[in-house]
Amino acid sequence: MEPAEYALMDQAEQRMWWYRALHARLADSLAGITGRVLDAGCGTGGLLAALHRRAPGLELFGLEWSALAAVRAAQKSGAPVARGSVNALPFAGGCFDAAVTADVLCHAAVDPQAALAELHRVLRPGGRLVVNMPAFTWLLSAHDRRVHNVRRHSAGQLRAALEAAGFTRIRTRYWNALLLPLMVAQRKLLARGADAASDVAPFPPWLDATFHGITALERRLPFPMPAGGSVLAIAARP
């Protein structure tokens, strides 16, 4: 990812509605987990910091390819952050009770098959994997080019990838569904040019609060949505 995008992430991820919504979803997905948790591809540490606040009993670890981002993540979260690739995790087998990888398998530098095999290896038997991915190939846009995303998955594609890697008890769910029409308009109509900026940017406070409120409402819905801007999967190493 471009250095400028890491800087935008660092500034935005503790305030911007989308990051707060993502972190809440991921924290929900780790409910009941104790012990060691890996954030594989932790960026500048926003999720690690959020988990430290929400679940202080967890023993958190991060992994990040960018040296500058890894330093910032450790500073922000207080967790140890190793530098390395999700394609070849620098950890012993079976050493984590859970692992999270959020919007990482979509990246150009990542081999999803190798990364999922590595995540399977470092989880203990019965350990939990949480994966978030941007949804739907047809939504690839200038934002994806800016952050070097080359793939987006449907729920079925993500489930198939997890099954092929040996994971079981797979549950998938789309989210950011209520705002999907606005996302389509932004990505496909308003920001179609090759020089368009990514979607990571400060929002007016009233708009940020509105969008966050909509995602919070959606998070409480008792039924799954048929589509969304992202797809989240929870799986287990058997």
How do residues 47-65 score in pLDDT, each as one tens digit?
A: 999 999 999 899 999 999 9
Exposed, middle or buried, 15 (CB in 10 Å: 0-12/13-18/19+)?
Answer: middle
Whether the pTM exceeds 0.85: the reply is yes
Predicted confidence band of residue 193 (pLDDT cuts 50, 70, 90)? low
Per DSSP, 196 falls in state P
Distance from the Cα of residue 168 to its chain's centroid: 20
pLDDT above 90 for 152: yes
**Half-sphere exposure (Cβ direction) of 62: Cα atoms closer than 13 Å:** 31
Mean pLDDT along residues 162-177: 98
pLDDT exceeds cutoff 60 at 69: yes
- Does the pLDDT at position 192 exceed 80? no
pLDDT given for residue 201 in this prediction: 73
User: Burial letters for 137-164: b for 16+ Cβ neighbours within 10 Å, e otherwise?
Assistant: eebbbbbbbbbebebbbbbebbbebbee
